[in-house]
Amino acid sequence: MVAVGLCAGALAAALTAPAQAQGAAHVTGGKPHWELKDSGTDARFRGLSAVSANTAWLAGSAGTVLRTRDGGTTWRNVSPPGAQDLQFRDIEAFDARRAVVLAIGEGEASRVFRTDDGGATWTESFRNTDARAFYDCLTFFDSRHGLAMSDPVDGKFRILSTSDGGRSWKVLPDAGMPAAQTGEAGFAAGGQCLVSSGPRDVWLATGGAARARVLHSADRGLTWTATDTPVPAGDPARGVFALAFRDRVHGLAVGGDYRPDQASPRAAARTSDGGRTWTTAAQPPPAYRSGVTWLPYSRTSALAVGPTGTDLTTDGGRTWRTLDTGSYDTVDCAPDLGCWASGEQGRVARLER
């Protein structure tokens, strides 16, 4: 753990080190940077799960699921049969063989699939039959316990629960869920509107209403508290799009306005009390961001991504600095420091050192 922690600190230091006055190729080769990998498809990958520096899963448009086991050199199309009309927006992988993927949409378009053999076969474990529900994101506490969330039904966010690794699901009672605001919903933009840390804590990000909120549950989704964030809202296109928690108290929120012709001031916030209060970043990302992740074993460093670039914080979310201007929708890091990003037109990249 100590050795890996030192590597994480070195990675963060290298990311922020000033570039040397030399040729661009040498600068890029000498510093950590995103290296694009050829996915062999033009699907938009808003779902991403980093297992390691070698193994990652992608989930995206047209029912596409890809997996690599060689660091992105080659990708295997492991899409569920007959899923070409579905939009996959979130994937949670436990290793190179086991993964759970979420398709979004109204009514029966929202579905969950699980594989235990690296995508050779899939089992549909949930199909939404309520026309009022629209599932956005899922998360797992461990290899057995997980949740998925839907936009409000009857005035409250709906939570789906599994205790067998996604093989079966049940809707949780909503008695402990606060009332939703008018127009409030989650954003299925990068698979990070529902995130967990530890065995029981989970957070849900919202937007589209008068206030952008983060809801927190400390009992795996049975009871929730809601807190306003300073991220701008007041429009269906604005709010908190992604969350990341490095433990049960330290978290980051990113978002803004996803319309490219609209500014996104105050597009990031941080918490150090589990989401009870949120503080605007003193220097936020310059534009809308749809994905965020902590660097493993780091107490202060994280990456945020969006259509206009990648930003790094090394002070726990107080300030952000743009590292790259490539377009990505989501980002994820594995325990061995393997960090990946993915997005439109089949884009996928690994952070190279």
Query: Which string of b and e fits 155-178 if b means at least 16 CB within 10 Å?
Result: ebbbbbbbeebbeebebbebeebe
| Radius of gyration, CA atoms only, the chain | 19
Q: What is the pLDDT of residues 162-183, one digit of tens each?
A: 999 999 999 999 999 999 999 9
* Six token digits for residue 333: 């890091």
* Six token digits for residue 243: 């969350």
- Residue 248 parent element (H or E): none
Residue 93: per-residue pLDDT: 98
For residue 1, what are the contacts with CB-CB under 8 A and spacing of at least 6? 297
Tens-digit pLDDT string for the chain (353 aa): 434 444 666 676 777 665 433 333 333 446 789 999 999 999 999 999 999 999 999 999 999 999 999 999 999 999 999 999 999 999 999 999 999 999 999 999 999 999 999 999 999 999 999 999 999 999 999 999 999 999 999 999 999 999 999 999 999 999 999 999 999 999 999 999 999 999 999 999 999 999 999 999 999 999 999 999 999 999 999 999 999 999 999 999 999 999 999 999 999 999 999 999 999 999 999 999 999 999 999 999 999 999 999 999 999 999 999 999 999 999 999 999 999 999 999 999 999 98
* Six token digits for residue 189: 């933009």
Residue 81: per-residue pLDDT: 97
Residue 16: per-residue pLDDT: 65
Please give the full DSSP string across 305-350, using - where no structure is assigned: EETTEEEEESSTTSB-EEEE----SEEEE-TTS-EEEE-STT-EEE
Residue 353: per-residue pLDDT: 80
Residue 246: per-residue pLDDT: 97
**Distance in angstroms (rounded) separating the CA atoms of residues 210 and 195:** 23
For residue 232, the one-letter residue type is P
Residue 74: per-residue pLDDT: 98
Q: 0.75 exceeded by the pTM?
A: yes
Any idea what the Cα angle at residue 337 is, between residues 244 and 241, rounded to 5°? 20
